[in-house]
Amino acid sequence: MNPVCPICSAQSVLHRSDLYDDRYAYPGRFHVYRCQSCAHAFTNFMPSSTEVAKLYSDYYPRRNYDPSTWHPPQDPRGFVSWLWGRKGGAYAWVPERVRVLDVGTGAGESLGYHNVRGCQAVGMDPDANVERIAREKNVQIKIGLFSNTDIQGESFDYVTMNQVIEHFVDPIEVMKEAARVLVPGGRLIMGTPNYRGLLARLFGARWIHWHIPYHIHFFSRQSMQKAASLAGLELESVNMVTESDWMFFQICHALTRPAPVSASRFWSVGEQRPSLTKLAMGLALIPRFLRLTHLWTRMLDAMGAGDNVVYICRKPLR
Ligand SMILES: [Zn+2]
């Protein structure tokens, strides 16, 4: 029997079978199920906390992060930013001079962006490797998981999670914690992949954002609405904006996808890439150089078939 939907408990159907970790070679085959009621999609992999630690410390390559590549994102306004899809980042929706918490901040580049805009910005990340970067770049990052934190209630105007909510085993618990730390009227902004877009259909198992088993949840508008209300939030707006370089990464990924249990030479950070991988990247660079990848991305977003959705949820006033 198929698992029930983790958001609304309705029955699910098999959506895609036999996916594998085609980036970092975590072993195993995984299936994606789709809820028949709210269209939420999810994998059959619900790792324990020890498995999560292993998954991110042994397989995910954050420890190889090079601080010389640290650059806060640019101002997301104007034609060039539109062309690049900069508003696909959750940071881009945060106003100036507010208190903001960025969950899953990684190296904290968005914190640098908020700081120059007069915000009080704090990041949170489970990876202790980023402590050194935070010190060097003068940004504030708390190390730990975002559940039952010691953060004081009602202490932030905004909470952002960029490409993060899909990684959690229990996204509703995480959204409840966000609701707790937000002031009444505060907002939770989440960018997350859209599995119902055209590229997911076109590329099938080679779609870049299956990213199994790191991605566990794939939201629909209905499932996000349900999750928000269970967490004590209101879904305020749904915005389809995809960063244009994802199209470039998608082409590279599709051309270089490895066999099961072998690591991708495209995604492996800090390793020498073989000439065939370099050739595939060279081919993908042509439409990027001509800005075709950008135009295709903007077209897909306009059609409502893009790869990324920014959900904005509001904590009701008392
Ligand atoms: Zn459901």
Q: Is residue 142 part of a domain?
A: yes
Reduced to 3 states (helix: H, G, I; strand: E, B; else coil), residue 140 is strand
Model confidence over 263-272: pLDDT tens digits?
888 887 666 8
Cα 106 to Cα 167: distance, rounded to the nearest angstrom: 13
Number of residues in the chain: 318
177: CATH? 3.40.50.150
Question: Cβ distance 195 to 218 under 8 Å?
Answer: yes
Q: Tell me, what's the pLDDT at 57?
A: 72
The total number of structural domains in the chain stands at 1
Residues lining ion ligand 1 (Cβ < 5 A) are: 5, 7-8, 10, 35, 37-38, 40
Q: Determine the distance separating the centroid of ligand 1 and the alpha carbon of 227, expressed in angstroms.
A: 10
Q: Is residue 4 part of a domain?
A: no
Q: Is residue 7 part of a domain?
A: no
Range of the domain at 138: 12-314
Model confidence over 142-194: pLDDT tens digits?
998 898 899 999 999 999 999 999 999 999 999 999 999 999 999 999 999 99
Q: Determine the distance separating the centroid of ligand 1 and the alpha carbon of 170, expressed in angstroms.
A: 14
Q: Determine the distance separating the centroid of ligand 1 and the alpha carbon of 276, expressed in angstroms.
A: 42
